Each structure stands twice: as structure tokens, then as C-alpha cells.
Chain A
């Protein structure tokens, strides 16, 4: 299992190529990359604040839970913080398993929990000023699926 919280850019392709390499028991690798989206056509940057210390432990706890629930060969979670430009990756998740169902489900579970239980906060900076992104009820409701 790998959990990284970093300011540096994420090269999703390189990360994926190196993930679960040489594991001959792996038949399925699923990945998700979250990208900074410009919803109004005016986004200059997205500022991501986090809680150093708790961020790493909260993500590790979520990844541990995924490993308990599904038969996974490996899990990767990378999440960035700091100022990010539109179109660049914010985070990525990858899961490896013998079969695809476990890899897909675990990746979906990880994303739902990272959204609402990992201590990150997003602030959008546009020409009109800066505003914190509010959490969505739908994101909280999504946790009930699990």
C-alpha cells in the first residue's frame, strides 16, 4: 500500500506503469485520476489546504478499510495540496486485484471516502475573487452505499 500527500505534480501514467508491477497474481488494475475542473470558465487556480499529519493517517485508515473489505494485491493513493492549475491532476487512486470487480469496487469506495473523510479543503480562485468549495450532501450520502 502506498499513500502520498504531496505538493509536487502527479504523473498519473508513470505512477500507473509502476503500480503492482511484477505481481503475477494480479489480473486487474483500476485507476482513477481527479483533475482540477474549471466549472465557470474563469478558474485561475484551485488552492488545496490540508491537515498535515491527520491527512496521511485518515487516508491510510481508508485504504486499510478497502484492503479489509476486498481482496486487493495493492492500493495506491496520491493526493496533492497547494495551488493547482485547471486541467492538472489533484489526486489519483489505483487498485490491483485478481479480478476486476474487487478492483473497481475498491477504487469507487476509496474515492467516496476520500471526498468526505480526508481532511482537504478546496478554494477556487477566479477573476471575481476566491471562494471555498462547499461539501455536497450527495457526497456524504454516497458513503451510505458502503
Chain B
């Protein structure tokens, strides 16, 4: 699964994207897996209320299932316009 990061999430993790081998059932499960890996992930995902998630480039929720999803994106609330 391709996991992509934007803005300060990207900076905190230190990568724009990576391939993650996972059996995580939901976004929350994936976050728990990443947080347990290294401190930089724990720091980036410390407060998920400050984050948004997109599954295959559509805004989604943290309890959404990952079955069939190829790209997960994590980023702060958007500031367009």
C-alpha cells in the first residue's frame, strides 16, 4: 500500500511517501502500526483530530476499512483558496 504525507505530517515523518506492507483492517489500525514503529510516526500521529485522511484520493474517516485501498494519504486540515 502506498502511504503519502503532506505539509507538516510529511516534515515530521521525513518522507513524502512510502510503501507499507500491512494487514491493517482500518485507517486507525494502520496508524497504530505506524506509531509503534518509530518515534517520528508517534509524533506525527499523536493527535489524529489535527489530521485528515484520504483513501485513493477521496477524503475519508479514521475508522474506514482499508480493503481494496491502494493509496492512503495523511495531512493537516486543508488551507486552500
**A residues engaging B (CB < 8 A)?**
34, 49, 51, 53-54, 57-58, 79, 90-91, 111, 114-123, 132-135, 140
Contact = CB atoms under 8 A, between A and B. Distances in A.
Contacts of B78: 115-121, 135
A118 B73 contact: no
Interface of A: prevailing SS: mixed
A121 B79 CA distance: 5
Interface residues of B, number: 16
Interface in B1-43: 4, 6-8
Most buried by B among A34, A51, A53: A51
Contact of B79 (A57, A58, A120): A120
Contacts of B8: 132
Contacts of A132: 7-8, 76
